[in-house]
Every structure is written in structure tokens, then in C-alpha cells.
Chain A
Amino acid sequence: MDARAQRETLITLSNAGVSRGGRTLVSGVDLTIARGEIVTLIGPNGSGKSTTAKLATGVLKPSTGTVVRKPGLRIGYVPQKLTIDWTLPLTVDRLMTLTGRFSAAEIDAALEAVGARRLLKAAVQELSGGEFQRVLFARAMIRKPDLLVLDEPVQGVDFSGEVALYELVRQIRDTTQSGILMISHDLHVVMAETDTVICLNGHVCCRGTPSMVKRSPEYLKLFGERAAGSLAIYQHHHDHEHHDDGCVTPQGHAHEHHHDHTGDHGHHDHAGHDHVR
């Protein structure tokens, strides 16, 4: 904690909220991200994760509360899902300079860092899901961002790919010391390196370190009994996952569970919370 206190604060959201056409998308969010810190937002669909991330990046202005960003904050963004139409001819090389100009040496170095240098001349449509995700990481990193925003970075990637990507996130954090804001609707897997997990459902339900959130009654309330105890904390070199039924499986399985849960969320929506809509 002491070490973190000295780190430069990149973003501070204080009681921030967004309303659109009389509807509150998200409210009362307090959040700070400092250099080298990993913050993960979890919550069901429509819980305000993306809205909160947009507040942080400055794409949305808060309707209530304040958002203070470090002046000149540089953001690198890894989108949730990016399909590039066949009609657009795009090599990995060209994708790297999509939003800014970079030298060949910088491009090489960024791709090298994610182990994708051999893909330099490949067409993006040719890449596998994992390869493309790595390239997108490299593209965001080449900007030397102060803040890296990852929108569901492991979606659609198989378990070994998922492990590798989390590993990559950890590496990026260690080498670049950028702050990392990760969005996930995967309620089960949260990186162990995450400093703060914020559990959203229109408001902040609970927050804390992964192990704190896992035990919090609000987390259980929000994600239902079946989620009880199932927040797996992704540790270094894990090759399996613990489930609520006690079994340990080599992944792939968790996603099915997780979809069941999202389907249920409407029913426990706000139940037992004293927050007003």
C-alpha cells in the first residue's frame, strides 16, 4: 500500500455517474487508477462496465460527480471484439500505425514483446483469435500509454490462450508501469495480480482485492448462489479451475456456467440492495 501511494495517480472518479434520457446507466462510482495498478471491473451485461470505462477514457462526460484525469493522459485501447471486414486489406504492419505514426523499429519491438513479430506481414483476417488479440495488445502498447484499457481481453480465446494473455497483461504492467483498466463479464476468472476488483451493477456493489470480493455477500447476492465460491483467481501457472460444485476442470467448462449466470441476473437485479434506481 505504501509503495502504491507514491505512484502517480492517472485517473480519479469521484461519485461519478452517467444518465442518458432520464435513465441512469451507472452512478456513484469511486475509482482511482495509479501507474502500475490493475483494476478489474466485473458485472453482468448492462451493469455499467463499459460506461465506467468510457468515463475513465474521457469518451463520456459524467452527468454527476467528477472525473479527474492526468493532463495529457495517453490511452491504449484493446477493444472487446474487432472483426475486420475482408474488403479492408490490412496487414499487421499497417494495423500497428492505425491511430498514430510509428517507426519500423518501434513496430518490431512492440510485436516482439507479445511474441508476434513473425506476423508482421500477415493480413489481419488470417490471424487466429489468440494471435489477433496479441497483435491488438501490441498495437495498444506501441503508443506507450499511461493507461491501458482492456475490454474483455480474453473473450473468445481458449483457456491456454487466456492464461497466456493474462500473463501478457502482467508482463506489460511490469515492464511499462502503465495503469491497467480491465473489463470483464467473466465472473469467474479474475487475475490474481488485480489490485482492485470493482463489482458493478448500475452502482458499485462491492470492491476490494480479488479474495475480498470473492467472499463479499454483495458479490454472492449479485451473481447468485451458483456463483458462490466460484470466483477463480487466476494464479501464475494455473492449468485448472475450481468450480462451485467442487470439481476441478481444465477449463472450457467455466464459460458455460458463466452464461447460465448472466441469464439469471435479471431476477436478482438489485434484490436486497438499498440503492435507489
Chain B
Amino acid sequence: MDITTMRGMTMFGDYFSRALIAGMGLALVAGPLGCFVVWRRMAYFGDTMAHSALLGVALSILLSVNMTLGVFAVAALVAGALIVLQRQATLSTDALLGILSHSTLAVGLVLVGFLTTVRIDLMGFLFGDILAVSVEDIAIIYGGGLAILLILILAWRPLLASTVSPELAEAEGLRPEASRLVLMILMASVIAIAMKLVGVLLITSLLIIPAATARRLSATPEMMAVVAAVLGAIAVVGGLFGSRTWDTASGPSIVVMALLIFLVSLAVPVTRLFGRGETHGA
């Protein structure tokens, strides 16, 4: 792995600034996309795709392909596999996700064990290593992130309409199936660029927690997307400074910071304007 060779570069200052820049870039993308994960109740689905990332890592090392591409491909394949299995309609989606989620993680772990020639920092992949982020990684995060945001903005209306009601969107000439596909590809992309930063076990938290926090502070979907992006960025900054101050693991610290913001937001009263209604499981 060439991550360490890039460490010497001083273009983006020290490792800490690079971590801040990379983390904030990821949060700005994860927030808006995470809103769709929350709205469409895809949390477990996101988890499943994220868990498959380790399999992507192992396969890309075995086949010597770019790791980001490998992770993206495997996550997208898992999403595709789920769609195919759902069509069979034998097991519930819940059970299918459980099978895919844990079996891809397990297969990934087993494969990593076979890779005797390469020393792999397993903890780094499971929980991320944001302090080891290279300039090249930052380029991938911002390049990929911009592309993801652009697609999200262009596809916003059909994505939102098919989230509210697929049949309504379809009757009025939009294509909910295509929207679903776009969303899955975007999620696979975010997972691919987020894996190095926060690890496969924590990626979904960056999608869900800022979005869930933003809900109480927003009156429209667009506002919620922006607020989620900002809250995610605050969580990254707070988490990283916290981890430096108390010498804690950086990835988990960011998630803890996001959680703290969420808990604080619970104290904010939801005004009548923002609606009420039954809350469903994350």
C-alpha cells in the first residue's frame, strides 16, 4: 500500500489537517445522501453494503486492482444481488440483508486471512484510519464527492418523488426503479470513499446520525440535506479535536461526536411547523 509513501508530502500540511479536510469532504456528501437512507429506511441496507466493503478490500488485493474501485464494485454487486433475491420473494428483505451483511463480512475476513504476502491492518479497515489519509485520498474524496453531489442534485426531484410514492412518480412519468438504482450506486460510491476514513463498521453512522439529527431542525427535504451535511462536518471537526485531546481512536470519536450532537438535538422542541407523527425504527 502506498498510503505511507504519500505521508511525507506537506502540500496539505500535517496529517491532522489532512484528516480534517478529508473528513469534512466526506461528511458534506454523506449528510444529503444519508437523508435518503433515513427517509427510505435503508439503514440496514447501507450497513450491508458497508460490511461487504471488506470483501471488496480482500478481492482488490488478490486481483491487484484499485481498492476504491474494488470496494465500489463489490458494494454495488451486493446491492444488485439483493434486488435479484428480493424478486424471488421467498425470504423477507430483513432476513436477506442479515444473510448478505454478515456473510460478506465473514467471507472478507476469511479472505484477508489468506493474504499472507501482504500485511493488512485489519483494524484500520474495520474502524478506519483517518489520520493516515494521503493527498491522493483527499483527491479521491473530493473528486468522487463532487460527482456524487452533482448526480444527487440533478436527480433530486425524481429521487424525492419516488421516495414519497413510487407509484405516484411512475404514473406521472418519472422512473422510480431508475431512481433506486442511482441511489444504490451513489451509496456504493460513498462507502468506497468512506471506508478508509471511518472503516466498514462505522460508515453507516455518518450517513444516518447527521440526517436523523437534521430532521428535527428542518421543515423541507432540501433544508434537511444541507443541515445534515453541516452537522456531519461539525461532528468530524469535533471528533478529530476530541481524539487529539484525549488520545482516542479517531473514527469512533467522530461517531461519538455525531451521537452527542444528536442527543443534544433531542432537547430541541419540535415545533408544530415541523410536523409530528409516529417515528419508526432507524
- Whether, in the assembled complex, B60 has its beta carbon less than 8 Å from a beta carbon of chain A, the answer is no
A84, A87, A89: the one within 8 Å of B219 (CB): A89
- Whether, in the assembled complex, B221 has its beta carbon less than 8 Å from a beta carbon of chain A, the answer is yes
Bound together, the chains give a CA A100 to CA B170 distance in angstroms of 13
Contact, CB under 8 Å: B171 / A89:
no
Chain B residues contacting A76 (CB-CB under 8 Å) are 172
- Whether, in the assembled complex, A149 has its beta carbon less than 8 Å from a beta carbon of chain B, the answer is yes
Closest residue of A by beta carbon distance from B279? A86
Contact, CB under 8 Å: A91 / B39:
no
Hey, what's the 0/1 contact readout for B143-173 against A, CB within 8 Å counting as 1? 0000000000000010011011101111111
* Interface set, chain B 5-63, CB cutoff 8 A to A: 38-39, 41
- Smallest CB separation, B74 vs chain A (Å): 29
Chain A residues contacting B167 (CB-CB under 8 Å) are 59, 77, 79
- Whether, in the assembled complex, A143 has its beta carbon less than 8 Å from a beta carbon of chain B, the answer is yes
- Whether, in the assembled complex, B275 has its beta carbon less than 8 Å from a beta carbon of chain A, the answer is yes
- Whether, in the assembled complex, A128 has its beta carbon less than 8 Å from a beta carbon of chain B, the answer is no
- Whether, in the assembled complex, A125 has its beta carbon less than 8 Å from a beta carbon of chain B, the answer is yes
Bound together, the chains give a CA A123 to CA B275 distance in angstroms of 5
Bound together, the chains give a CA A265 to CA B164 distance in angstroms of 33
- Whether, in the assembled complex, B280 has its beta carbon less than 8 Å from a beta carbon of chain A, the answer is yes
Given contacts A75-B172, A76-B172, A123-B274, contact A90 B220 (CB under 8 A): yes
Chain A residues contacting B41 (CB-CB under 8 Å) are 85
Bound together, the chains give a CA A81 to CA B173 distance in angstroms of 19
- Whether, in the assembled complex, B81 has its beta carbon less than 8 Å from a beta carbon of chain A, the answer is no
Bound together, the chains give a CA A124 to CA B160 distance in angstroms of 15
Chain A residues contacting B165 (CB-CB under 8 Å) are 79, 82
Contact, CB under 8 Å: B164 / A89:
no
Chain B residues contacting A123 (CB-CB under 8 Å) are 219, 272-276
Main secondary structure of the interface of B (DSSP, over half): helix
- Whether, in the assembled complex, B69 has its beta carbon less than 8 Å from a beta carbon of chain A, the answer is no
Chain B residues contacting A103 (CB-CB under 8 Å) are none
Contact, CB under 8 Å: A126 / B275:
yes
Chain B residues contacting A82 (CB-CB under 8 Å) are 164-165, 168
Contact, CB under 8 Å: B276 / A77:
no
Hey, what's the 0/1 contact readout for A95-119 against B, CB within 8 Å counting as 1? 1001110000000000000000000
Contact, CB under 8 Å: B221 / A77:
no
- Smallest CB separation, A121 vs chain B (Å): 7
Hey, what's the 0/1 contact readout for A61-77 against B, CB within 8 Å counting as 1? 00000000000000111
- Whether, in the assembled complex, A247 has its beta carbon less than 8 Å from a beta carbon of chain B, the answer is no
Which 3 pairs across A and B sit closest by C-beta, in order of nearness?
A: A123-B275, A77-B171, A86-B277
Contact, CB under 8 Å: A87 / B215:
yes
> Can you list 30 A-B contacts with CB-CB less than 8 angstroms, sorted by A residue number?
A77-B172, A79-B171, A82-B164, A85-B41, A85-B277, A85-B280, A86-B276, A86-B279, A86-B280, A87-B38, A87-B280, A88-B39, A88-B163, A88-B221, A89-B215, A89-B274, A89-B275, A90-B221, A91-B219, A91-B220, A99-B161, A100-B157, A100-B172, A121-B273, A123-B272, A123-B273, A125-B276, A126-B272, A126-B275, A143-B172
Known contacts A86-B276, A123-B219, then 20 further A-B pairs from the complex at CB < 8 Å, ordered by chain A residue: A57-B171, A76-B172, A77-B167, A77-B171, A79-B171, A84-B164, A86-B275, A86-B279, A86-B280, A88-B221, A90-B220, A98-B157, A98-B161, A99-B161, A99-B168, A99-B173, A100-B157, A100-B172, A126-B276, A149-B171
* Interface set, chain B 243-282, CB cutoff 8 A to A: 272-280
Bound together, the chains give a CA A87 to CA B160 distance in angstroms of 13
- Smallest CB separation, B238 vs chain A (Å): 24
Bound together, the chains give a CA A172 to CA B168 distance in angstroms of 19
